[in-house]
Amino acid sequence: MDLPDWARGVSRIAVLTGAGISTDSGIPDYRGANGVWTKNPELLGLFNRKAFLAEADVRRRFWAALSVLEGRDAEPNAAHLALARLESTGLSLRVLTQNVDGLHQRAGSTQRKVLELHGSMATTTCTRCAARTPTEEVLHRGEDDPACASCGGILQPSIVLFGQFLDQDLLGKAANIARVAQLFVAIGSSLLVEPAAGLCRVAVEAGATLVIINRDPTPYDDLATEVIREPIGVAVPALCAALTALNPGTN
């Protein structure tokens, strides 16, 4: 990848990742040609917070579908690993992810430097008493509509469903990271889901260079200095290697 001047002199990088970065790990995206919502629009209704809380049948179908969607057996791919290596060079790198699969951390990215904007599938939270349990333990119980072992409340994986607000403190931290970044890279995101997608505009308005790596057009392409359509598994490692080479002395 031949990189222009915007890749030089960069020390503060923020990366926003969406479902597209995990497709090479075998986890389907949501809105692509073979996406979860595209192939089975009915599943979209299962991720509605109001319906999830109100209807036991929705919860039963949600938990039945979860084993397919959560990607428990997935492994980090070349893009996750490249970002972790880039962080290890000493560059200030923060990952703001819309994904709930935990693959950035498993690839070696520092836990505290990964902000999971839409939550994590690793744990399940009681909607009544807020007790948290590893999702693996909940699934092993084999119940079609599991309830909290402590209070009997409805259990929900610790992810943000449609109709549910993001953690405002976490979103505020993400916005601050976007504001101080010199380079903001959006990877594998349709950039259709707000407010996470809006971090692109926050970064640009604060003076950052925006680069988008995505197969399909996004609403933020016009704000980007560069849009890269190459496969993510190729483009991200190439970008990370070039940033490391162009910004020596960080190791």
The distance from CA 18 to its chain's CA centroid, rounded to whole angstroms, is 4
For residue range 202-246, what is the model confidence (pLDDT) as tens digits? 999 999 999 999 999 999 999 999 999 999 999 999 999 999 988
Q: State the pLDDT at residue 83.
A: 98
Q: State the pLDDT at residue 129.
A: 97
Q: What number of other Cβ atoms are within 10 A of residue 197's Cβ? A: 19
Q: State the pLDDT at residue 74.
A: 86
For residue range 115-146, what is the model confidence (pLDDT) as tens digits? 999 999 999 999 999 999 999 999 989 899 99
- Mean pLDDT over 36-60 rounds to 83
Q: State the pLDDT at residue 247.
A: 77
Q: What number of other Cβ atoms are within 10 A of residue 135's Cβ? A: 22
- Mean pLDDT over 97-102 rounds to 94
| Higher-scoring residue by pLDDT: 216, 250 | 216
Residue whose structure tokens are 């000493």: 90
CA atoms within 13 A on the CB side of 125: 11
Domains within the chain, CATH numbers bracketed: 1-27+76-118+165-251 (3.40.50.1220), 30-70+123-159 (3.30.1600.10)
Distance CA 218, CA 227 (A): 10
| Higher-scoring residue by pLDDT: 70, 232 | 232
For residue range 149-184, what is the model confidence (pLDDT) as tens digits? 999 999 999 999 989 999 999 999 999 999 999 999
Q: Are 13 and 92 in contact (CB under 8 A)?
A: yes
pLDDT higher than threshold 70 for residue 185: yes
Q: Are 113 and 93 in contact (CB under 8 A)?
A: yes
In the structure, what pLDDT confidence band is assigned to residue 31 with cuts at 50, 70 and 90?
low
Q: State the pLDDT at residue 37.
A: 57
The distance from CA 201 to its chain's CA centroid, rounded to whole angstroms, is 18
**Sign of the Cα pseudo-torsion (202, 203, 207, 212, in order):** negative
In the structure, what pLDDT confidence band is assigned to residue 248 with cuts at 50, 70 and 90?
low
Side chain identity at residue 111, one-letter code: Q
**Sign of the Cα pseudo-torsion (30, 197, 234, 21, in order):** negative
| pTM score, whole prediction | 0.90
Q: State the pLDDT at residue 69.
A: 58
Q: State the pLDDT at residue 38.
A: 62
End-to-end CA distance of the chain: 22
By annotation, the residues acting in catalysis are 118
Percentage above 70 pLDDT, the chain: 90
In the structure, what pLDDT confidence band is assigned to residue 251 with cuts at 50, 70 and 90?
very low
What Cα–Cα distance (Å) separates residue 239 from each residue in 4, 10, 133, 160, 202?
A: 11, 12, 38, 30, 22
